[in-house]
Amino acid sequence: MTEKLLFVVGVTTLCMLTPGPDMFLVMRNTLVRGRWHGGLTAIGVLTGNLVHIGYCTFGVAVLLLRSQPAYNALRIASALYLVYLGVQSFRGPEAGAPDADRPRVAHSRSAYWQGLWNNLLNPKGSLFYLGVFTQLITPDMSIPQTVLLVTVMMTVSALFWLLFVNTLQLPIVGRRLSQSTVLVNRALGVVLILFAVRLAIPN
């Protein structure tokens, strides 16, 4: 069991450090609207992770992977959503500092749902968790052991997002980015659209 726990910590850490749509979306919302909205976006991503883990654990992802039309539909839906988020980046605030930590209800809900849907609509989430759990979960594994593995995985992910969002809010980082908020917002929008194009093109 110790080896499996170390494997979960290692592979989850590597996955979190690999730049992807979730990371750039959390970065965008943190820089544009502040720590509060960046944190809510990360919570949305974590919620999506739990959904992926749930259906992968019960083997639903296996059926999805065996259905090429279903996989393609999910891939295209994800690409379109990323394009939408990228376009929205070009319509963001033109100047001034982020909203800091003031929780505005409408924007808060939007940040959470953006993180959730961005994660859920990424079919590579299914591939990642399916690959991990097929290596870890065996018929002889007890429910408490499975819960422990999932808990460790989610804890590593949550700690990463906490560190990531707060790092973006450090004064030295904030000073450099506040002078080019519009430019950063546009650049992150382009990155999201590029991810969408890459996702839409079959490997």
**pLDDT per residue rounded down to tens, the chain (203 residues):** 777 788 888 878 877 877 778 888 898 888 888 888 899 999 999 999 998 888 877 765 565 567 777 767 766 876 787 788 778 777 655 433 444 444 444 455 688 999 999 888 877 777 777 767 666 666 667 778 888 888 998 999 999 999 989 888 777 766 666 556 667 667 777 877 887 787 677 65
C-alpha closest to that of 190 among 33, 73, 28: 28
Determine the pLDDT at residue 203: 59
Q: How far apart are CA 12 and CA 132, in angstroms?
A: 9
C-alpha distance from residue 78 to each of 7, 51, 119, 138 (Å):
29, 16, 9, 31
- pLDDT attached to residue 138: 64
Q: What phi, psi does 190 have (nearest 5°)?
A: -65, -40
Number of Cβ atoms within 10 Å of the Cβ of 13: 14
